[in-house]
């Protein structure tokens, strides 16, 4: 083989390996860059160390939506439609691979054991009639979020925060609206209707009240509309449950992963 052909073959092989660049083959330097990018772009939802928040914790060997490196790369780049997970088209592919490599490294870390007892937490969940508003595997109410896989979607720190102060949760739905927004309507006929916003457009608003009844309201019939982003129909448990009971309830909820 001539020197020119040999150089061309070596160069071709170099670019081929660079294009493939499997996530699992990343070096320590790539992990450092990945960690830096993760902290600036991902930590707000997934926690500074990947322990979770409004997004799921990532310290696990198997990610439910990313079974392999290609799926993880696609998830980070394209996001997840209908969820708070955004796309990352402003990041170069190499940067996404660095983030993916760092996320994979989190899966090799030892997960922190939660202090609570899931079995006791399940009993507390039942005792406090949480199923009146929340469903698990199709059983329960619909006025609150479905909790079937909440442990796979939210970190333990976020679950704890919501139990202590439900109004602190600011989740955005797939349409860009504040999810589970509490709204109070004062009507022309003197009625006051309060509930969670289900749907809204320029002319109507649909609310679900605490009795799980739906109200489709023409905005022309409304005298005053109060949107209460700090309010929640869900009670806080900071004063009604002990710290140990709250730990137990968090452990139960964190274990709901939809399997």
Contact status, residue 98 vs residue 22, Cβ threshold 8 Å: no
Whether 80 and 126 map to the same domain: the answer is no
Whether 85 and 156 map to the same domain: the answer is no
In whole angstroms, give the CA distance from residue 53 to residue 165. 14
Whether 132 and 210 map to the same domain: the answer is no
User: Cα–Cα distances in Å, from 234 out to 163, 199, 231?
Assistant: 9, 19, 9
In whole angstroms, give the CA distance from residue 83 to residue 64. 15
Whether 51 and 157 map to the same domain: the answer is no
Structural domain includes residue 112: no
Whether 71 and 157 map to the same domain: the answer is no
Reported as type and span, the H/E element at residue 245 is: helix 243-254
Structural domain includes residue 146: yes
The enclosing domain of 153 has a CATH number of 1.10.760.10
Q: For residue 180, how many other CB atoms are within 10 A of its CB?
A: 21
Tokens representing 4 are 């020119």
- Predicted pLDDT at 66: 86
Whether 78 and 129 map to the same domain: the answer is no
- Predicted pLDDT at 179: 57
- Predicted pLDDT at 23: 55
Q: How many domains does the chain have?
A: 3
CA torsion angle for 106, 112, 113, 118 (degrees, to 10)? Answer: -70
Whether 9 and 87 map to the same domain: the answer is yes
Structural domain includes residue 242: yes
Model-wide pTM > 0.85: no
Whether 223 and 242 map to the same domain: the answer is no
Whether 131 and 246 map to the same domain: the answer is yes
Sequential DSSP letters for 142-176: SSS---TTHHHHS-HHHHHHHHH-GGG---B-TTS
Structural domain includes residue 47: yes
For the chain (length 259 residues), average pLDDT per consecutive 10? Answer: 46 40 54 92 89 84 84 92 86 92 82 88 96 91 85 86 78 48 91 88 88 90 86 83 96 88
Q: How large is the C-alpha radius of gyration of the chain?
A: 23
Structural domain includes residue 213: yes
Whether 193 and 245 map to the same domain: the answer is no
Q: 103: domain range?
A: 3-107
Structural domain includes residue 177: no
Q: For residue 221, how many other CB atoms are within 10 A of its CB?
A: 12
Whether 18 and 94 map to the same domain: the answer is yes
- C-alpha dihedral sign at 118, 113, 62, 162: positive
Nearest to 150 by CA among 130, 178, 165: 130
Whether 77 and 152 map to the same domain: the answer is no
Structural domain includes residue 51: yes
DSSP 178: B
- Predicted pLDDT at 172: 43
- Predicted pLDDT at 82: 75
Structural domain includes residue 99: yes
């Amino acid at each position: 083989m001539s020197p020119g052909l040999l150089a061309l073959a070596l160069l071709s092989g170099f670019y081929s390996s660079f294009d493939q660049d499997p996530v699992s083959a990343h070096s320590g330097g790539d992990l450092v860059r990945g960690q830096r990018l993760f902290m600036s772009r991902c930590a707000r939802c997934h926690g500074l160390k990947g322990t979770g928040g409004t997004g799921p914790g990532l310290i696990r060997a198997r990610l439910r939506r990313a079974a392999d490196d290609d799926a993880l790369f696609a998830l980070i780049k394209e996001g997840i439609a209908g969820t708070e997970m955004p796309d990352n088209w402003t990041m170069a592919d190499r940067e996404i691979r660095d983030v993916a490599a760092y996320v994979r490294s989190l899966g090799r870390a030892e997960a922190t054991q939660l202090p609570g007892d899931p079995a006791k937490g399940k009993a507390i969940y039942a005792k406090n009639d949480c199923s009146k508003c929340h469903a698990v595997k199709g059983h329960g109410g619909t006025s609150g979020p479905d909790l079937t896989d909440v442990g796979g979607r939210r970190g333990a720190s976020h679950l704890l925060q919501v139990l202590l102060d439900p109004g602190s949760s600011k989740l955005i739905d797939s349409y860009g609206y504040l999810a589970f927004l509490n709204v109070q309507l004062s009507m022309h006929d003197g009625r006051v209707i309060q509930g969670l916003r289900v749907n809204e457009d320029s002319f109507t608003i649909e609310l679900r009240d605490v009795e799980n009844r739906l109200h489709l309201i023409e905005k022309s019939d409304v005298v005053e509309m109060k949107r209460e982003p700090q309010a929640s129909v869900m009670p806080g448990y900071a004063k009604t449950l002990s710290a140990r009971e709250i730990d137990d309830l968090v452990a139960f909820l964190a274990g709901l992963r939809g399997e």
